[in-house]
Structure 1
Amino acid sequence: MTFPLITDPFFYAVAVPAVLLLGVSKSGFGAGFGSLAVPMMALAVTVPQAAAILMPVLLLMDLLGMAAFRKDFDLKLLKFLVPFGLVGTLVGALLFSLLDGKVVASIVGFFTLLFLAQRLLFPPRPDSPPPPKWLGALLTATSGFTSFVAHAGGPPISAYVIPLRLSPLKFTATLAFFFFVINLSKWIPYAWLGLLDLRNMATSLVLLPLAPVGVWAGVRMARRISQVLFYRVLYGGMFLTGCKLLWDGLR
C-alpha cells in the first residue's frame, strides 16, 4: 500500500520555508510574516489544501508558543478579542464554499497595505488614544474570518493591536493565545468540509518536525529584540504579506 503523501519536490521547496517562517512569526513577530505561509504553499497546491495541511503544524506551534509565553499575555485584551474572533471563524465556515480565494486574498492584501500607509504617513503621537472598541471588534472578526479561509488572520488583528503599543513579549504572547483558540475552533468545520483527508494529514506529519525549529528561533528573537526594531520588522512582514496577497488576488 502506497503512503498517501504529496511527493512533488516543488511542494516541499515552498512548504519548508513557509512552515519555518510561520513558526518564527507565531513565536517572535506576532503574525506579520505568518500570513505568507499559505500563499507560498499555494504556488504548489490549492489554497484550501495548503490551509488543511497546516492545521496540525499550527496546533503544535500554538502549544509551543503558549508554553513559551504563558506568563506574558494580556488576559483583559484576550477576553475582548476571542469572542469576536470566533464570530469571524463561524462566518468563514458558513461562507467557505461560496468564496473565491482570490477575492479574499486581494481584500486582505489591500487593507493590510492601507493600514501600513496610514501608520507611515500619519504616525500616531505618544498621547494618541487607543483605537475604539467597535473598530477592534470589526478587525478581530475579520481576523477570524480570514484566518479560517487562508490562515491569514494576522494583518487585520495586528491593525488593531499594534496601536495599543504593547511590549514585544505581551504582543506576541497575547496573539499566541488568541490564535490557539481560533485555530482550535477550525478543526471541526475543516473536517466537515472534507479538507482533513489522509493525504493532507500525512503530508502535514512530514512537515511537523519543522514547527519547533521555527518557534525556537522566534522565541529567541522576541526575547532579545528592542521594541523599535520589533515593530519595524512587524511592519516589514505586513508589507510583504499585503503585497503577496494583493498580487495573488489580482493576477
Structure 2
Amino acid sequence: MLAKPVRTILLTALLLLASPARTDTPSSAAQAALREAVTQFLMREASRNSGAVTVEIADAAIPRNAKPCDAPQAFLPSGQRAWGHTTVGVRCPQPAWTLFIPARVRVEDDYLVAAHPLAAGSVLGAQDWEVRRGDVAALPPGTLTRPDQAVGRTLRQAVPGGTALRSNQLLVVQAVERGQRVQVISHGPGFQVGNEGIALTAAADGQPVQVRLDSGRVLQGIARSGGRVDVGQ
C-alpha cells in the first residue's frame, strides 16, 4: 500500500492532468478583443456593398503581446479599402497605442462577364453578358454587378469573351452638360422645393455637379438623367 503522502501527490497530479488548460490569459483575451474589433469594423464597412461578407484574419496577424484595451477603435489607414486584402488600424485611447492588422475581406456577389467577344462601339443588351457569382472583392474595381448598369450602354473598347465587364469600359453618358439649363430639386425633412438654374460643370448620372440658380446662388448637387439636379437629402 502506498504511503499517504505518496497517494496525495499522485492524486494531485491526476487532477492537474484532467483539468483543461486555461486559455483566457490577459494576452489571449486582448488578442480576441482585437480580432472582434477588426472583424466587426470590416463587416460593417464592407456590408455597404451588396453580397455576403466574410472576414478572414490569420492568427499570426494578431500580436501575441497585444495589450488589453477597454475600447479599441478600428479605422482604415489612408489608401486602404474595406474589401480584398487590406490592413486595419486599431488605436487605444488609454493606455495610448496603435497597431495595424492585415485581413482579407471576401464579398460573394453576382457580377457580369462578356458572353462572347464584344467590339468597341457595341450597345449592350441582355444577350451580351452572363451572370456569375464569386468574390467581387478580388475582381478589378468598377466590375458591374447588376444588369441595369450595362443595358443600353456603349462600349468604349473591345472586351474579350468571359471577361468581367467594368464601368471604365463604358462610354460616359453625361446626364447634365455644362451650360445646360437644369431643374434643381432641393430636399429636406418634410419638404421638397423646385428651382431652375444653369449647370456650371458637366456630370454623369450620380456624379456631383455645380449649379447657379437664377437668384445667383451657387449650389452643389447630384446630377440625374433628364437634366435634373438633386440637392440635400
TM-score by length of 1: 0.21
Which one has the bigger helix percentage? 1
Which one has the bigger strand percentage? 2
